[in-house]
Amino acid sequence: MIEGISHITLVVSDLQRSAAMLEAVFAAVEVYDSGDEQFSLSREKFFLICGVWLVLMEGEPLPTRTYNHIAFKISEAEFENYAQRISEYDLEMKAPRTRVAGEGRSIYFYDYDNHLFELHTGTLAERLERYGVKTSQSV
């Protein structure tokens, strides 16, 4: 049985630069740095972001940008604070997609290696309610 997400790995061209961005934007806590040792495919750093294990692994960046993304939940009250943090790191913010009322707001931005992140104020339960979906599962 699947118990949850174990970790997320992103391949980045510059470990130090990407680590600094994760720490500043997401308040990520570095818990491991392989340094010159290589236990996996390349040098890597492990972080915790609100209990989520995120790995940065050194390598070739993504060749193109897509809408595939990782979304983190933020509060509405912190929305502008996060937008400011992102702009301070010269990260490209993508225009938000069209939304219906009650769906929450999002900040989309690309990191230095074409990964798309979203900071979203809504929840799954709120979105399903807005879309008129009735569910018997706890969301």
Q: Which of these is catalytic: 3, 44, 76, 78?
A: 44
44 among known catalytic residues: yes
User: Given this model, what pLDDT does residue 139 score?
Assistant: 57
User: Given this model, what pLDDT does residue 33 score?
Assistant: 92
CB 94 within 8 A of CB 116: yes
Residue range 75-91, pLDDT digits in tens: 999 999 999 999 998 89
User: Given this model, what pLDDT does residue 38 score?
Assistant: 76
pTM of structure = 0.84
User: Given this model, what pLDDT does residue 41 score?
Assistant: 83
Query: What distance in Å separates the CA atoms of residue 111 and residue 91, rounded to the nearest whole number?
Result: 6
Domain locations in the chain? 1-60, 62-139
Q: How far is CA 105 from CA 25, 42, 46, in A?
A: 17, 36, 29
Domain pair 1-60 / 62-139, same fold: yes
CB 112 within 8 A of CB 65: no
What average pLDDT does range 86-104 have in this prediction? Answer: 83
User: Given this model, what pLDDT does residue 136 score?
Assistant: 65
User: Given this model, what pLDDT does residue 2 score?
Assistant: 65
Q: CB-based contacts of 137: which residues, under 8 Å, 6+ apart?
A: none
User: Given this model, what pLDDT does residue 4 score?
Assistant: 79
Residue range 14-61, pLDDT digits in tens: 999 999 999 999 999 999 999 888 778 899 999 999 999 999 999 998
1-60: CATH, from 3.10.180.10, 3.90.1150.10, 3.30.565.10, 3.40.50.300: 3.10.180.10
| Degrees, nearest 5: CA angle 97-102-105 | 40
> 62-139: which CATH architecture?
Roll (3.10)
